[in-house]
Amino acid sequence: MTRKEAAREIKRLSELLRRHEHEYYVLAAPTLSDREYDALYDQLASLERDFPDLRTPDSPTARVGSDLSSELPEVEHTIPVLSLDKAYAHEEIVAWARKIQGSSGAEVSFTVEEKIDGSSMVLYYEKGVLVRGVTRGNGLKGNDVTANVKTIRTIPLRLARAVSVAVRGEVFLPIDEFARINSSMEIPYANPRNLAAGTLRRVRSSDVAAVPLTIFAYEGFFTGGADPKSHVEVLSLLEELGLRVSTRIGLFSADGELGGKLSSLRERHPEWTFGDFDAMVRYLGAQRETRRALPYEIDGLVAKVNELDRRELLGYTGHHPRWAIAYKFEAPEGVTVVQGIDVQVGRTGRITPVARVRPVAVGGTTISNVTLHNQDYINMLDLAIGDSVAVSRRGDVIPAVERVIEKNDTNSTWRMPDRCPACESGLVVVGAHHFCPNRDCPAQVRGRLLFFVGRGQMDIENLGPETIDVLMERESLRAPADLYAFDYGKLAELPGFGEKKISLIRAGIEKSKAQPFRVVLQSLGLAELGQKVAELLVDSGYRSIDELLALADAGSVEALTVIPGIGEKTAQTVLEGLRRPDVREQIERLRAAGLSFVEEARGEAAGAEQIFKGQTWCVTGSFERFTPRELAMEEVKRRGGKVVASVSGKTTHLLAGEGGGSKLEKARAVGARIVSEEEFLLMLARAPEPKRED
Ligand code: IVH
């Protein structure tokens, strides 16, 4: 960013912040959330750091100090004061717990507690006496605020026993107290956290005593007088010693019982929640839902390994413990400006508007492009070029526009163009999306080619977008089959195409011919025929394109819908696609080029006799030898049979285990042969799988 741009941006942000401060403090009608305010504020502060001479004395950043106050003495921490790794979806927390459980021999349990939104505090007690209260600071050094901490009634000056312990806790202000105190403040605070943090750092402790701060203790590092083995013991100990501990605690483990160890805890803590990992998912969701009803603010939940010896084994990364993780309710946001909206045309012709925003750092990465999905989404946001917007990473990956913070002057909403930006065809609307109806549209052609050569499809190395563009422009490359007909030697005339590059492209093309049928099938890029459906088709016995083309000609939707995982719409769309003349032509040309349009049955490759070839099997009931019953299905497939989910006129065999119900009747009705487990085992014995020689 140039100095001039920075100056303009600093002015804009300062004005925006000032206006919102006025709305918040004077009018008491804020239109920005605290988070958005903080994001704007951070951006201004960072610009001012880059261009210090542009900082004005009346800048909104001139009001607030840093965490480490120069007016208070600094002291070094004697324990590592780390922060937490975080996630924004509760599934991630449970996945984290399952992973730790998976890597551990013994059963691990996990506590879930509130992540109090206050000011981090370390209380050092020696032989039971409070000797020092220190802010988190930078983790190594903090501010000594002992005198201030001593005014907090819920912090004991002497513990019930003469233990030596460093207690970590969060100093906070209950919401109602915040409202009461803040309303009489000359310069009010944005939230209870800021008021608590500001108060703790006051130089005169009598000012601190006037604010009813309180604390929840959540960690204790004992160095003498006690030797707890688990986090719940630590929490109980802290409570016994006279500290305040939150009662909203959950304790979870894989089986929810911890080998019976839980029963005494249940009795002692009837207010806690206990359960297995499914209960943990529910607990995280419920806590999130009910947090607004709490008398204090929490910004998330913290899951921690309960067993302290396990914690030690897990250890720390440079920044945080591996034995704990924060579930944050709100993903981080940034505030930026929409500089333009590009319209992209996908391989299917679908038009996607993408906002180009001024790059903004959000949660560690920079966001510069944000998908806007479709016109409905843009209408919902009421978005136009020039608007200031809040952006986030949903689920921490895909950038999204959360809302418009300030409209540009024209007050308009952006509208999708009438024509395709690549080929000028009139766009058509299907459902929520706009489409370019021209299959020869260069943007669609390019999209299809890039899809075909891309990772996950044919994976042709060295055929990237630049090469595809050159081939499209100079050599009238139009369809995947052209890639196999082209004389790549000709590229040598062009700048940037050395011998080495050309031979790599050739090698990539040759290698792609070895891709199995299932990969070729999904690389065709037909609607609804993605990787999953291609696998389902091949694994249910459709191992050649000719079988599928025959189904398409016959319109046998039902032949596909019997496959578990394939629904009516998918079946219809796939068959329609396979009937298209242009698709047929591509298939024939690709087949002629040497691509695989047949896949050997796995059993064939391994040599098992194809005794079930041409048969269609359905499996029902439970088995002694095949649990889960998918194992039986595998055996059928390995020997050339097709497996379907329900009995129909095409079903030739029903493998019936214990308790097979309605399928038995249906099989009898359609005349399918009913095979018992015993009989099935005999059949398998006739076509054993050869032993592998490796
Ligand atoms: S555990 C090594 N538990 O959240 C232990 N932290 O980024 C790490 N916090 O700085 C902290 N409630 O100020 C823990 N129940 C809780 C917490 C909690 C709030 C704060 C704490 C810390 C930050 C983590």
> Which pair of tokens denotes residue 460?
């042709």
What is the average per-residue pLDDT within 148-157?
A: 94
Residue nearest to atom 2 of ligand 1 (CA): 82
- Tell me how far the alpha carbon of residue 119 lies from the centroid of ligand 1, in angstroms: 10
Higher-confidence residue: 424 or 208?
424
Q: How confident is the model at residue 272 (pLDDT cuts 50, 70, 90)?
A: very high
Please say whether the beta carbons of 115 and 300 come within 8 A: yes
**188-212 mean pLDDT:** 87
**In angstroms, what CA-CA distances link 159 with 167, 243, 592, 599?**
12, 8, 84, 74
Is the pLDDT at 213 greater than 80? The verdict is yes
CATH label, 517-592, candidates 1.10.150, 1.10.10, 2.40.160, 1.10.3470: 1.10.150
Residue 615: the pLDDT is 92
- Among all residues, which ones are annotated catalytic? 115
Mean pLDDT in residue range 574-586: 96
Six-digit token pair at 48? Answer: 């001012």
Q: Inform me whether the pLDDT recorded for 324 exceeds 70.
A: yes
Give yes or no for a contact between 363 and 432, defined as CB atoms under 8 angstroms apart: no
Kindly give the distance from the C-alpha atom of residue 214 to the centroid of ligand 1, in angstroms, as a whole number: 16
Residue 503 pLDDT: 92
pLDDT, the chain, mean: 89
* Domain made up of 3-64: CATH architecture: Orthogonal Bundle (1.10)
* Ligand 1: residue whose CA is nearest its atom 21: 120
Cis peptide before 156 (omega within 30 of 0): no
Average pLDDT in the 518-544 region?
A: 93
Domain boundaries, the chain: 3-64, 85-328, 333-432, 442-512, 517-592, 607-684
Q: How far is Cα 228 from Cα 306, in angstroms, rounded to an integer?
A: 11
| CATH class belonging to 85-328 | alpha beta
pLDDT, tens digit, 9 for 90 and up, residues 638-650: 888 899 888 888 8
Are 563 and 536 in contact by the 8 Å Cβ rule? The answer is yes
**pLDDT value of residue 18:** 85
In this structure, which topology does domain 333-432 adopt according to CATH?
Answer: OB fold (Dihydrolipoamide Acetyltransferase, E2P) (2.40.50)
**What's the 315 CA to ligand 1 centre distance in angstroms?**
16
In the predicted model, is pLDDT for residue 261 greater than 80? no
Share in percent of the chain as helix, strand, coil (round to 5):
40, 20, 40
- At residue 66 the predicted structure's pLDDT band, cuts being 50, 70 and 90, is very low
pLDDT class of 70 with cuts at 50, 70, 90: low
- Angle CA 148–150–152, to nearest 5: 85
Q: Per residue in 501-525, pLDDT tens?
A: 999 999 999 999 999 999 999 999 9
Instruction: Name which of 376, 370, 304 is nearest 338 in CA terms.
Output: 370
pLDDT, tens digit, 9 for 90 and up, residues 299-320: 999 999 999 999 999 998 877 8
Domain pair 3-64 / 607-684, same fold: no
Find the angle CA(295)-CA(297)-CA(302) to the nearest 5 degrees: 120
Mean pLDDT is highest, among 125-129, 224-228, 256-260, 645-649, for: 125-129
pLDDT of residue 692: 46
pLDDT above 80: residue 97: yes
Pocket of ligand 1 (CB under 6 A): 82-84, 113, 115-116, 120, 136, 170, 218-219, 302, 321, 324, 326
Looking at per-residue pLDDT, the higher value among 182 and 342 belongs to 342
pLDDT tens column, 541-572:
899 999 999 999 999 999 999 888 899 999 99
If phi > 0 it is left, if psi is from -120 to 50 it is alpha, else beta; for residue 71 that is: alpha
pLDDT band per the 50, 70, 90 thresholds, residue 444: very high
Query: Which helix (H) or strand (E) element contains residue 391?
Result: strand 388-394
- Side chain identity at residue 61, one-letter code: T
Which of the pair, 363 or 160, is modelled with greater confidence? 160
The CATH code for residues 607-684 is: 3.40.50.10190
For residue 207, give both structure tokens: 């000012």
Residue 362 CA to ligand 1 center (angstroms) comes to: 21
Per DSSP, what are the bridge partners of residue 343?
353
Testing ligand 1's pocket by substitution, the residue of 67, 111, 115 carrying the most ligand atoms inside 8 A of its CB is 115
Distance in angstroms (rounded) separating the CA atoms of residues 651 and 669 = 11
User: Probe ligand 1: pick from 112, 214, 218, 294, max atoms within 8 Å of CB?
Assistant: 218
CA-nearest residue, atom 6 of ligand 1: 115
The predicted structure's pLDDT at residue 694: 41
Pocket test for ligand 1, best of 170, 216, 238, 329 (most atoms within 8 A of CB): 170
Section 458-476 average pLDDT: 90
Give the pairing of strands 298-305 and 109-116. antiparallel
Judge contact between 335 and 322, C-beta under 8 A. no
Q: How many CB atoms lie within 10 A of CB 355?
A: 27
Confidence of residue 693 (pLDDT cuts 50, 70, 90): very low
Identify the CATH homologous superfamily for domain 442-512: 5' to 3' exonuclease, C-terminal subdomain (1.10.150.20)
